[in-house]
Amino acid sequence: MTYVNGFPRGAACIVGAATFGIGRCPGVSAVDMAAKVSLMALADAGLSLADVDALYTSAPFEALGGMELAEYLGITPKVTDCNRTGGSAFEVYVQQAALALAAGLIDCALIAYGANPASNPPKTVGMTRPSPWEAPYQPLAPVSSYALATSRHMYQYGTTREHLAAVAVAARAWAQLNPEAAVRDPLTIDQVLSARMVSTPLTVRDCCLFNDGAAAIVMVRADRARDLRKAAIPVLGAAHAVTHREISGMPDLTRTGAVFSGTQAFAQAGVTAADIRLAMLYDAFTITPILFLEDLGFCAKGEGGPFVSGGAIAPGGRLAVNTNGGGLSCVHPGMYGLFLLVEAVRQLRGETGERQVPALDLAVAHGNGGVLSSQATVVLGRMDCL
């Protein structure tokens, strides 16, 4: 086992992955969805609940969600976590599970999530207190925070609304190749630009979906992974950074913690952004892939807008980004980070049909939580990368 920058490179593998209930899943509770997709991911790996001794989850509106899902599944895990870093939580779980597996603390980790805000709308959106510093200005949470970061990027680097629209159009083009995606009708730059403004400069087409969905992955040590049902996907690097809580506390509105998490995860994996041909980037809003492409090193700071233009991140472009359709067109039930990982695994296995990225051996899944507050980067590869 080789530790690189404190991380056990390739010691843990993702061996099962599944999604369930994308779009609308009426009559099924969030914990039902998480349990269902957990069984699907275990079956994908050729394992059962009896094998699971670690459970990581983030229940949508249940602070004790880790215990709730463990009870529902009838398991007694050695490790249970239900952290609150928002959509990045699941990339953080991969980091934590890989470390626990390498240490011998656990043998099989299940990471699961389910939420149904579309078919069972919550009375309120969000689980946090109003900001005493921002509430007097009556922002729309969280879109106004992202609109602020977007406006700053536009002012500082000349990023345009057309650049933002290119992100949404590329996501929709990928979604049209994904039978599971919730929204698959055509989308043009003009349609994004003329859509209803939500928080200037972001229109409703610059914002992610708000629908149902569940996802799960299963992780074991590499020595065991080779004997299981599907191709094992090693975790080559994983890192996490938190820079602030509220957008008013963000040190630089144009620079996220992905600068730190990406640098560390790529160093652990022994790769650079230039080696990556699939980037699964959390796209809660159209500005976020632009920021993450810059901060992860796919292009220079300020060049994200031109980088995504002209179909560059759409099917057939220079870099495959969010090949499932992303949070903008496939699924976003409140936290999207686990769906990034599932799509990366499916792509590396060669299971994605029309949207398959050819000859793929490396992928990055990058999660975002809060209001650009928590950034977590996971580098995955095929077994031959070891």
DSSP string of 322-386, one letter each residue = -TT-HHHHT--SS--HHHHHHHHHHHHHT--GGGPPTT--EEEEEEEETTTTEEEEEEEE-GGG-
| Amino acid sitting at position 225 | A
- Residue-wise pLDDT tens digits, 333-358: 999 999 999 999 999 999 999 999 99
Residue whose token pair is 């994605």: 352
- The predicted-structure confidence for 156-206, as pLDDT tens digits, reads as follows 999 999 999 999 999 999 999 999 999 999 999 999 999 999 999 999 999
For the chain, domains (ranges, CATH) are: 3-121+208-385 (3.40.47.10)
- In terms of pTM, does the model score above 0.95? yes
**Omega before 139 within 30 of 0, i.e. cis:** no
Under the banding of pLDDT at 50, 70 and 90, the label for residue 128 is low
pLDDT per position as a tens digit, 255-301: 999 999 999 999 999 999 999 999 999 999 999 999 999 999 999 99
- Residue 365, pLDDT > 90, answer yes
Q: How far apart are CA 235 and CA 220, in angstroms?
A: 10
For residues 140 and 198, the answer to whether their CB atoms sit within 8 Å is yes
How large is the average pLDDT for residues 17-31? 94
Mean pLDDT of 230-255: 97
> Does residue 386 register a pLDDT over 60?
yes
Query: Is the Cβ–Cβ distance between 213 and 19 less than 8 Å?
Result: yes
Three-class SS of 281-323: ECCCECHHHHHHHHHCCCCCCCCHHHHHHHHCCCCCCCCEECC
pLDDT tens-digit readout, 208-225: 999 999 999 999 999 999
* pLDDT tens digits along 136-149: 888 888 999 999 99
Residue 350 burial (10 A CB sphere; 0-12, 13-18, 19+): middle
The answer to whether 326 and 308 have CB atoms below 8 angstroms apart is no
DSSP assignments along 186-205, one per residue:
---HHHHHHSPEEETTEEGG
The span from the CA of 171 to the CA of 187, in Å, is: 9
The one-letter amino acid at 265: A
Per-residue pLDDT, 59:
80
